[in-house]
Amino acid sequence: MKTIIIGGVAGGASAAARLRRLDEASDIIILERGEFVSFANCGLPYYIGGTITNREALTLQTPESFRNRFRINVRVLSEAVKIDPSAKTVTVKNLRTGETYEEAYDNLILSPGAEPIKPDIDGAGSDTVFTLRNIPDTLKIKSYINTARPKSAVVVGGGYIGVEMAENLAEAGLDVSIVELADHLIASLDFDMAADVHRYIKQKGIKLYLKNGVTAIRNNTVILENGELVADMVIMSVGVRPETSLAKACGIIVNSRGSIIVDSEMRTSIPNIYAVGDAVEVKDFITGNPAFIPLAGPANKQGRIAADNIAGYKSQYTGTQGSSVLKLFDMTIATTGLSEKSAKAAGIAYDKTYTYSGSHASYYPGASNMSIKVLWDQTTHKLLGAQIVGFDGVDKRMDVIAAAIRLGAKVTDLAALELCYAPPFGSAKDPVNMAGFVAENVISGKIKQFFWHDVESLPGDGSVTLLDVRTKAETAGGMIDGFINIPLDSLRENLHQIPKDKPVYLHCHSGLRSYIACRILAANGFDCYNLAGGWRLYESVINERTVPEYICTGCR
C-alpha cells in the first residue's frame, strides 16, 4: 500500500505520522513544495518579535527525522503539478533541478493549506510589502527589519495574524498601525467584547484605523479610503483562501469559495483521494452548516482521521467549533462557538450574559478580572458560544467552556461543574461557575436583563426609574445620563424614593451588586431590570475606554 501526501505541514505531517503508527508496512511519501516540513506556523510572528530566538525551534520535524523515526520519505522542494485520478498518479516537479516525474499511489491525501489573500491594489507587489505564511516569509521579514532598520509599519487586517504581527513588530521596536475594514478587531469577537481589546492595544501604542481600507501603496505612503499613513513596511494580513487549484484541475468537487468538499471521513469526491486542513470545507459544529475555519488543531485532527480510514479504522470528523486563543502583550483573548453575529446569521434565537470575574481569589496577590460573554439557545438552553477577554487564567476557562460545548452541555450545567480551586489558581465560585449562575438566574426568572445597546432607547419621560447603585466615589468617574444614584448599601433605607408603579432599570459596575439590588426590589414588589455587564461594559463599548477601577472590597 502506497500513500502520497501533498503538503507537509499540520494536517499532512499529522496524517503521515499517524498512518505509520497504524501501518508499519505502508510506503508513505510526503511531497512538500517548500523547503521546510512540519513547521510551527503559529510561532512565526514570535520569531519576528524576538520571543523565539532560535530559528530551528520553528521546525518540529525535518525530512531526516521523519525518515529516521517513521521511515517516511519526505521530499522537499517537490511540487505536485498534476493529479491523474484514473491512472492514480501524481506528476511531481523537482524544484531544485526542474526535472518532472510521475509517482503512482494507492491513496492520496491533499493538505495544501491556505494562501494569504493579496489585494489587487497599486503597490501591493512592492519590496516593502510582506505576507506571512511560512518560514521563508518569516526570514524575509526578519531580514528586512535587521538590515533596513524600519521605524514604522502598517498591518493591513485586524484578524489573529494581523494582531499578533502588530504586537511582535511593536516588540521589535517599530511604530505600528493596524488598518481594518470592519468596525472592530478579531472577527470571532463581537464588538462589545472587542472594545476592551481596542482600548488595551491603543494603550500599548498601536494605532487603530477601523472601518477603513487600503486603496494603494506608493513608496512609503499607504493610501487609505479615509486618509493616508507613512510606513517603512507593510504587512498584508487580510485573510486567507484555500489553495486548491491542483484539486480543481483533476476534477475534485469544491465549493464556491474554492474549499474542497469532503465527507466526515475526509474523503473527496474522487475515490482514494482524501483532503485535510485549511483547504477543506468543514461543518460548523454548532449549526451544522458548511464553513471555512482555518485552524491548526482541526487540521491535525483531520490528518489523523484520514490516516485512520486509509488504515482501515473507522473514524469521523464531527465538525469545527472555532476554539481559538490569542496573546496580545499581557492580554489574552479567547473564543469558541458562535458569536452574536454568527448566531443571528444562522437564525438561532439566543440569549446571553456578561460576567466580570477574578482570575483567582481576590485576597491572593495578582488577581485580575476577565470579561466573559456566554451565548445559549433560548429554547434548549444549550451553550452556543463564548468569548473571554482578560489576562491571567483566560485560556483555561475557555477550554472548560469549549469542552462543555463539545459535549452538548446546557449553559446551566456550567453552574454545576466542580473545578479545581486554590487561592493562587481560582475561586471557590470559579468564573465559569459564575457564568452558569447568572444564566441560571436569567432562565429561572430570578433576574431580568437589559443590555448596553438598549440604554439609548430607554424612555426619558419619567415612565421608568433609572437607578445607579454604585458608590458615590464610583459615580464621580461618570454616570449614564438620566440615572439617579442610590448606593446598594443604603437602598433598603431609600425604597420610599422609588415609585412602585414604574419599572426600575438599574446598574452597578459589573452587574453583581445590581443583581443584589434587583432581588431586594423584587422582594418589595418592584419590577426590576439589571444592566448585563454593568457600567464597566457599557462605558467600554460606548467610549472604548473604562473609568479606573476603584479599590474596594466587593466591587464588581
What's the CA gap between 19 and 112, in Å, rounded?
A: 18
Are 111 and 276 contacting, i.e. CB atoms less than 8 angstroms apart? yes
Cα 200 to Cα 216: distance, rounded to the nearest angstrom: 29
With 0-12 CB in 10 A as exposed, 13-18 as middle and 19+ as buried, what is 256? exposed
Catalytic residues: 42
Radius of gyration (C-alpha) of the chain in whole angstroms: 27
**Nearest alpha-carbon partner for 326 in 389, 276, 279:** 389
Sequence-distant (≥ 6) Cβ neighbours of residue 458 within 8 angstroms = 450, 464, 466, 482, 505
Task: Classify residue 15 by its DSSP letter.
Answer: H
Alpha-carbon gap, residue 353 to 432, rounded angstroms: 12
Residues 6+ apart with CB under 8 A from 360: 366, 367, 392, 393, 423, 424, 425, 426, 427
H/E run at residue 400? helix 394-406
Compute the distance between CA of residue 164 and CA of residue 167 in angstroms, rounded to an integer.
5
* Cα–Cα distance for residue pair 91/348, rounded to 1 Å: 47
Question: In this structure, what are the phi and psi dihedrals at residue 63, rounded to the nearest 5 degrees?
Answer: -55, -40
Q: What is the largest CA-CA distance in the chain?
A: 90
Residue 488 near residue 516 (C-beta atoms within 8 A): yes
Q: How far is CA 13 from the centre of its chain?
A: 24
Residue 233 corresponds to which cell in the numbers above? 513596511
Q: How far apart are CA 238 and CA 258, in angstroms?
A: 17
How many whole angstroms separate alpha carbon 395 and alpha carbon 278?
23
Q: How many CA atoms lie within 13 A of 63 on its CB side?
A: 15
With 0-12 / 13-18 / 19 or more C-beta atoms within 10 angstroms meaning exposed / middle / buried, residue 456 is exposed
- Reference 101, options 88, 91, 109, 112; nearest CA is 91
Cα–Cα distances in Å, from 241 out to 126, 133, 306, 345?
A: 21, 12, 22, 21
List 299's β-bridge partners, or say none: none
Cell readout for 226 is 479615509
Whether residue 283 contacts residue 290, with contact meaning beta carbons closer than 8 Å, is answered with: yes
